[in-house]
Amino acid sequence: MQVSELQAALINSAAAAASDVVAAVAGKKIRVFQLFYATLLADTVKFGSNTTNLVTAMATVPGVPVVLPFSMGPWFETAVGEAFTMTKTVATQCSGRILYTQD
């Protein structure tokens, strides 16, 4: 992987619902190499490949960031042609950023 291949996306969601962090691209996988986010209120967050969970629900503490530092191997990898999603259970602001590749 070349650093120039990395792309960045913002995490910005206030709904208690599933949302795309990175939209699906036909024929490509999304690989997440770094991620951080924080919520305004206590919440439960999980990440997925469309509707398939890639991690079990993680509880958050208000204002305390969750940090997955840069890794040479991806923290998460979607199925081919699927979006990288975030599902929250509480309607509160969740903000952050990810670094990812699509190939």
pLDDT category of residue 13 using cuts at 50, 70 and 90: very high
CA distances from residue 7 to 10, 46, 56, 70, 93 in whole angstroms, order as listed: 10, 21, 25, 13, 23
**Sign for the pseudo-dihedral over CA of 42, 33, 86, 97:** positive
Mean pLDDT, rounded, for 85-96: 97
- Quick: pLDDT tens for 16-68: 999 999 999 999 999 999 999 999 999 999 999 998 999 999 999 999 999 99
- Domain coordinates in residue numbering, the chain: 3-102
Look at residue 4 in the predicted model and tell me its pLDDT: 61
In CATH terms, 3-102 corresponds, of 3.40.50.300, 2.60.200.30, 2.60.120.340, 3.90.550.10, to 2.60.120.340
Mean pLDDT, rounded, for 78-90: 97
